[in-house]
Structure 1
Amino acid sequence: MAETPRGAGVLFYDRERERVLLYRRDSTPSIPFPGYLDILGGHTEPGETPEETAVREIAEELEDLRRGGPFILTAHRLFTVYTDARGVTDSVFCTEADFTLADVRLKEGQELVWVTEAEARATPLAFGYNAILDEFFPALRAGKV
């Protein structure tokens, strides 16, 4: 029996400004949701745990310009597990951002974008991830993340 496709993503958040960091996907027509905003992350490799996927994907997608190397994800915790319309199950982690956009460089996609709750509600996100942010912002305000 084939294994259910899995992935992992990370929501970096700014508690003070009540916003999360997303990225704009490439505009290549052959990829799902070209040009849409998306959660940083990707597919789980065989034998990998969701947490290992999150750490690897962030290292692949972000360069830490302060250190001069891949971004090392630490102090993250599981926020939710989400299954999208395609049947892909994503483990979504969260961590407070300890950097500015000038401190990091996106290596995959077009740009990093800070998004508030109102902006997220007004913007269709890749893979139906609006549902995740609909849960995240109230949890952020309530101090549950």
Structure 2
Amino acid sequence: MEIEGTEEEELELTYIKAAEDNLRKRLDELFAMAEDRCKHHLEFVLAQNRTRTWAEHSVLCVNPRLRENKLSVTWYVVKWYGSKAQKTRRMVKKVIVKPKNKYGYNLETLRKIAQPWEWDWVETVEKEVTPLRREAEFIAPCLGKLNKILKGNMEGKT
């Protein structure tokens, strides 16, 4: 009888590990999609900035980040200080605050910061990454709970 219980527990652990692996794989896929959108935005902005004056340069930057179970896609305002000739130039990034309990940024806030020539692109990127943030937000607690179950089973066996 005890052998059957052990086999059943092993089977449950196998299912839990498979679920965790699938969720981690999906989180990695979401990160890759977010990274792709952000990379395209950066390439577009850099290409456009080459043809514009300093006053017309974009100051918006978007970066994805994956840490443990959490995916974030954050917009920044980028400002440059110092002189390039004197090699004192440095970049300062200021985070644009996303509304709490929302999966996306306020588009009006982004519109105020964006250059007119880049607004369509910024709006498209934000609308594409909002569902990615939302899905990742649901996956994170699931991974946490599965990890807790696995950790509890590992501690029980020692």
TM-score (norm 2): 0.27
TM-score (norm 1): 0.28
> Greater helix percent: which structure?
2
Max radius of gyration: which structure?
A: 2
